[in-house]
A = this chain, B = another copy of it.
């Protein structure tokens, strides 16, 4: 195969992958947002068929030869072509190492595990989910060994979600969070909680929908390229930079719930919306890693969205949408209310200060699960003990305990650390940004355009051209330093609670 043939073959593959990913992405989005419930069966048929086609598109000898030909001639191809081939080769290697039958059996297991988890959570019945979890753990251990038998299985899994992540870097990270933040958490919890009752009045969903549009406008999200829908759990999905979708979930008695979902998902959306034109319709047009994606969503949600200047800009918008409910509230009261911090049971509802501890618990548990040092039947007791240790809270049942997250039922073992890493990355990005300009006068006016332009230049536009570590270093202008994150949280909550 000549280099020219190899490049043509790769181009063809990328176009095909785009089409199938787009189709499967829309099928999945439709299933979550608009499809009637009984449609699941037909969708499973179609998704199963198309998954088979996409597997065969990638995993065949001609593709292998094309990718190897291109990677052997890196100097003769463009950097974009080289990076495309590199990423495809990683996907190829990951796919080819797992025997097709095991891959299919695992996919079926996950479909069933997801349904079993839903049921088990509803009935708070861990025993009903345990057999699935046991098998998922076994598969993940085995798959990790297929990929790289020379490294600890959990490191291989972590690396799958966040290139370069390992227990060697995460252990000290989470240890630091625990050591430095636990005293702050305890101190904050001893102080009177700020009043947030005004956020828990009745906020009609119709008015909240209009408010979402205004929030997206404040964030500078171009609506001709980004839609919003409603799902049980908020998420962001993207097909190309001209077609990004976010979702949210409205609670009639908690206006901040959807508000911060919209800002969080809006951050993910801005990342995808900001990828460069020239990488669209290729495998480079997407966020670089889960951690970097979370760095953007949590940047907008917390560093901007839960800042006092943003609350000053937000207040008149909220008062416009909810005049009765927000009457007489000051920006300072809003700021205090949206930063109310208390150790709690549910990760997704945790405040900025305690959030990292929720992630730390899951990280420690996953190490034990994958390492084989904890029996599946002992996990709930372990979970409850760690919540007591890390956050001082008593878990009343498994529904609000070990069954709360969908991730393990979906086979996502090693994903959680991305959330905490992303939060920490964001703080260093903000520090780097503040060296270039002072963003807070803009934020107070509700103008995030310069901030988004800065992040666009440093992060968004690159898509997957750079590796996550390259991208992170170029954005923060130095090595990753979790102390920066700890200092930020300590200062913010010390000031807020006048410790």
Contact = CB atoms under 8 A, between A and B. Distances in A.
Interface of A: 15-16, 18-19, 22-24, 26-27, 29-30, 33-39, 41-43, 45-46, 49-50, 206, 222-227, 229, 239-240, 242-245, 280-281
A204 to B, nearest CB: 10
State the oligomeric state as a number of copies: 2
Nearest to A225: B38
Contact of A45 (B38, B206, B281): B281
Given A23-B24, A49-B16, A50-B23, A42 B227 contact: no
A441 to B, nearest CB: 31
A22 B47 CA distance: 10
A41 to B, nearest CB: 6
Contact of A42 (B37, B45, B222, B239): B239
A361 to B, nearest CB: 37
Contact of A243 (B15, B38, B244): B38
Contact of A18 (B27, B35, B39, B45): B45
A164 B173 CA distance: 74
16 contacts: A19-B49, A23-B23, A23-B46, A26-B30, A30-B30, A34-B34, A36-B225, A36-B227, A36-B245, A38-B222, A38-B225, A42-B239, A42-B242, A42-B243, A42-B281, A43-B243
Contacts of A223: 36
A228 to B, nearest CB: 9
A224 B42 contact: no
A223 to B, nearest CB: 6
Contact of A50 (B19, B36, B225): B19
Given A42-B281, A206-B206, A229 B34 contact: yes
Given A22-B46, A36-B225, A42-B242, 9 more contacts: A19-B45, A19-B50, A26-B27, A34-B229, A34-B245, A36-B226, A37-B224, A38-B242, A206-B206
Contacts of A15: 45, 49
B23 A27 contact: yes
Contacts of A42: 22, 239-240, 242-243, 280-281
B27 A29 contact: no
B34 A46 contact: no
A464 to B, nearest CB: 18
Contacts of A50: 19, 23
Contacts of A38: 222, 224-225, 242-243
A491 to B, nearest CB: 39
